[in-house]
Structure 1
Amino acid sequence: MSLEPRGAAHSPLLAAHPTSPGSVFQLLRDGVPRTRADLAAQTGLARSTVSARVDELLGASLIAPFGENSSTGGRPPATFSVNPAARCVVAVDLGGTHARIAVTDLAGEVLAEEELELAIDQGPVPVLDTVSEIARRLLAEAGWSPEKLIGIGIGLPGPVEFATGKPTSPPIMPGWDGFDVPAHLRRTFDVPILVDNDVNAMVLGEHDMVYPDVDHMMFVKTATGVGAGIISDSQLQHGAQGAAGDLGHVAVPDGDQTPCTCGNLGCLEAVASGAAIVARLREQGFDVTGQAEMVELVRSADPAAVRTVRQAGRQVGAVLASCVNLLNPSVIVIGGLVSTAGEHFLAGIRESVYSRSLPLATQHLRIVGTVTSGRAGVLGASAMVTTHTLSAEHINAMLAGSGPAAS
């Protein structure tokens, strides 16, 4: 998947020159409204150049008047800020058994969304065709024409080669290995399509919406599988093959020998995922068939269910303790369906992490539950798209009529 807008790679006029409208636009992306004089002072550009660039951005509705600054006399100068309603994004969070699809504005505000049961093991074509159908309907419900769509972001529950958008040997996604996800979706939507691991999207969503000032953090999802998204020095870490953060296939230190789908024994996914907890409860005689029933059982304060979930938390924490010593994050966010069972799971994680990690690494460490109400994945998928498509180069391409949603 090319990360350049069509035509941009061969046109020097679209490059991110300091005087380009795209470069001026970047100064407004921090959310602070500015006047033309502010922009001229900040860039060192002539007032006439700044005014021309502001007019171009206004003409494309990419920025909008925000209000007026105070003035010592005469008419107050107008201020401008990014217009979140200029374009929209389709954001998709695919899990092992569920999907959440949303339409957001450029600020990540969800305008329309749908959550449904959707098994990833159906294969890429039926799953992605369902996504396309729902995305078209949500765009219509939100009042957006496809021409205003600036891009699509997708999180998948397995390793992804980010540069191409192709899954790489995903363990719970039969038929997806090497499938060209962007190419398939472009049959319906001719826009940039960014694909990443679902937990990478989640850590971006939680970071952008809740912890924007945190430079080192992790997001751990425990559901059908177990995975982590890692931000270090404010940068999302993919690893050499897109497999960074695959906690699910790290061996738990307690020596559990439960067989894992990967062929090894005692992997975290095999002993502490939502499916593994359900299996443990069934072994104890509970009539539970899925993770949702397991969560309800724990919420009802059944002592055996609480003990089982807390032990799973300890096993997750035992693996995370090594991550804390190695990466030294300041925040670890716990998400996924298992985390909705309450504080018992979190308590088990904290117990192991704080007892097994070095005191220096845990001195200021916070281990907290997600606060994005299941939306971390779509919020991160939306952020992936806006970070890419609102770059200076892409804004220049859009204004030149050669980029997505140029009309």
Structure 2
Amino acid sequence: MARADEGHEKTTLDGAGGILSLIAGGEAASRAELLAASGLSRVTVTQRLNALLASGLVRETEKTLPSGGRPTRVLAINAASGFLLVANIGETHIHLAAMDLTPAILAQTTLPFSVASGPEATLTQIGDAFDALAAEAERTHGFFLGISLSLPTPVDFKRGCVVGPSVLPGWDEFDIIGRLKARFDVPVYVENDVNLMTICEHKRRFPAVDDMLFVKVGTGMGSGMIAGGRLFRGAQGAAGDIGHIQFLSDDAPLCRCGKFGCVEARAAGWAIARDLSARGFRAETARDVIDLVEQRKPEALMLLRAAGRTIGEVISDVVSIINPSLIVIGGTLARGGDLMLSGIRELVYQRCLPLATRDLSIVLSTVREDGALFGAAYLLLDDLFAPARADRLLERYDTARHRQTPAAVRRQAP
């Protein structure tokens, strides 16, 4: 009898991906909204929703919606029904975490990192750390959804690999996805850190904004674009690389990419640190620059304000092309506050047409968590719960659920 019940429930779940996707995407939070959004019959919606509720992947929350009669309880993904593993590879450290489906951190760790380590040693190190995090997370959140990585370098998202030049020598064209899939056998995502910070900023603070530009100004520089409410990557994933737009002049500085005159070579943290070092200060990174700014060193203040105007110059060109309604400035140098922001605003409002700036807001990021880490989680969840992939996710979930003990299944139920 138990096997027959299980088989019936599995068959019902096989067709429930569309319902799952509507709930996960926030398009339907009640039975009535599911009926309207899905176009399915009441019987079909009820059957598929009941199967999702019984599986523990969807739950009824304590929140209610008015329904003209008895209030109906809000439907949501059960955050405790699974976990994902994410990592943000920085220039000196790797931040790793196991997250639930909120996403919220269940467990985390930080590892030292050297760019000289190369991809094989680094991915082995990440894999070992992931094993420990997974062992901790799966005790309470049994289903392992997938892995998502953030890299501080240009990434071809479709292929999941680094494309040089980059700050990660030896990573070009390395099969990151293949290496991690061979070890963990789950979906793997790889994306540029600035794109992930853009996703996080949009999800956390500005979900209603359809057209937005996020600019990260740290030791390096880059930007991400939200267009029509979705991340815009361009044909090969290179959209938003404003740090390497070139301003040519007789004294154009050499950039880390090997070209002359890049915006990054004039206004990024490493470039300001270079100029401060030439003036006798000890500075190598964006953090060193901000430390000097916070000490109110006149040279640091002057250079940061000048960097803001340079960044404003290139942003004004972007505004004229994509016409965002919001620009968010993040990264370490954003801690310079109005000193940097005033320079950016000055150039943007000076150079752009009134139509483009009439309703334009330029603000500082207030996200204090690791934005790239959370962005990696949002990216994975959005893709796996998307209509085209939700049925496949349910197949994996149902297979994993029926391999577990009854006690483990009960832990996932709402």
TM over 0.5: yes
Deviates more, 1:365-374 or 1:128-137: 128-137
State yes or no: 1:317 paired with 2:312: yes
State yes or no: 1:209 paired with 2:201: no
Q: 1:102 aligns with which of 78, 89, 97?
A: 97
From 189, 201, 215, the equivalent of 1:220 is: 215
> Matches of residues 27-66 of structure 1 in structure 2 within 5 Å?
27-31=22-26, 34-36=29-31, 38-40=33-35, 42-66=37-61
Percent of residue pairs bearing the same amino acid type: 37
Q: 2:348 & 2:108 partners in 1: Cα distance?
A: 36
Cα pair 1:155 1:197 within 8 Å, conserved: yes
Offset at residue 289 of structure 1 (A): 4.0
In structure 2, give the amino acid aligned to 1:210: R
Task: Report whether the alignment pairs 1:376 with 2:371.
Answer: yes
- Assess, with a 3 A threshold, how the Cα gap between structure 1 residues 399 and 171 changes in structure 2: closer, same or farther: closer
Consecutive unaligned residues in structure 1, runs of 5 or more:
1-13
Residue 404 to residue 174, structure 1, CA distance change in 2 (3 Å): farther
Q: Is the 8 A contact 1:31 1:82 kept in 2?
A: no
- Map of 2:171 onto structure 1: 176
In 1, the alpha carbon distance for the partners of 2:306 and 2:126 equals 36
Task: Quote the residue 2:330 is aligned against.
Answer: 335
- Distance in 1 (alpha carbons) for counterparts of 2:161 and 2:400: 24
1:193 to 188, 199, 212: 188
Matched, 1:158 2:149: no
1:53–1:311 CA distance, 2 compared to 1 (3 A) = same
Aligned to 1:260: 255
Q: How far did 1:22 drift?
A: 1.0
Q: Name the structure 1 match of 2:287.
A: 292
1:271 to 2:271 alignment: no
Q: Partner amino acid for 1:319?
A: V
- Listed one character per residue, the Cα deviations across residues 47-95 of structure 1 (whole Å, up to 9, x for unaligned) are 332222122212321111224667998x876553221222122222223
Q: Which moved more, 1:390-399 or 1:153-162?
A: 390-399
Query: Which residue identity is paired with 1:109?
Result: A
Q: Which moved more, 1:312-321 or 1:79-88?
A: 79-88
- What does 1:392-407 correspond to in 2, within 5 Å? 392-401=387-396
Distance 1:343 1:331 in 2: 17
Judged with a 3 Å threshold, the aligned counterparts in structure 2 of structure 1 residues 401 and 200 are, in CA distance, closer, same or farther, namely closer
Q: Is 1:398–1:405's contact at 8 Å kept on the other side of the alignment?
A: no
2:269 and 2:68 map into 1 onto residues whose CA distance is 63
1:274 counterpart letter in structure 2: G
C-alpha distance 205-406 of structure 1, shift in aligned 2 (>3 A): farther
Partner of 1:7: none
Note the alpha carbon deviations across 1:139-164, whole angstroms, 9 max, x for none: 44456579522111122122211111
Cα distance, 1:109 vs structure 2: 2.3
Which has the higher mean CA deviation after the structures are superposed, 139-148 or 235-244? 139-148
Match of 1:240 among 235, 239, 242: 235
| Distance (whole Å) between structure 1 residues aligned to residue 399 and residue 389 of structure 2 | 9
How far did residue 275 of structure 1 move?
0.8
SS of the residue corresponding to residue 188 of structure 1 reads: helix
2:122 equivalent in structure 1: 127
* Matching residue within 297, 300, 303 for 1:302: 297
SS in 2 for 1:113: strand
Moved more, 194-203 or 95-104: 95-104
> Structure 1 residue 385 and structure 2 residue 380: aligned?
yes
- Structure-2 change in CA distance of 1:392 and 1:345 (3 Å): same
Q: Deviations over 1:331-381 (max 9, x none)?
A: 111112222233322222222222222222111212211121142211211
More helix by share: 2
Determine whether 1:326 maps to 2:321. Answer: yes
Please say which of residues 369-378 and 141-150 is displaced more in the overlay: 141-150
- Are 1:137 and 2:132 counterparts? yes
Structure 2 counterpart of 1:364 = 359
Partner of 2:82: 87
Asked whether the equivalents of residues 160 and 175 of structure 2 are also in contact (C-alpha less than 8 Å), the reply is: yes
Q: Do 1:318 and 1:349's aligned partners in 2 also have CA atoms closer than 8 Å?
A: yes
**2:411 alignment partner in structure 1:** none
Q: Indicate how the Cα distance of structure 1 residues 272 and 191 shifts in structure 2: closer, same or farther if over 3 A, else same.
A: same
Distance change (3 Å), C-alpha of 1:119 and 1:83: same
What RMSD over aligned residues (CA atoms) do the two structures have, in Å? Answer: 2.9
Q: Distance in 2 between matches of 1:373 and 1:381?
A: 16
Aligned to 1:25: 20
Structure 1 residues 295, 117: closer, same or farther in 2, change over 3 A?
Answer: farther
- 2:240 maps to amino acid: G
- Following the alignment from structure 1 to structure 2, what is the Cα–Cα distance between the partners of residues 274 and 71? 54
Letter of the aligned partner of 2:75 in structure 1?
F
Q: Secondary structure at the match of 1:186?
A: helix
Q: Deviation of residue 35 (structure 1)? A: 4.5
Tell me the distance in 2 between the aligned counterparts of 1:222 and 1:320.
12
**Deviation digits for residues 301-346 of structure 1 (CA, Å, limit 9, x no counterpart):** 1221111111111111111111111111111111122222333222
**What is aligned with 2:409?**
none
Residue-pair matches, total: 390
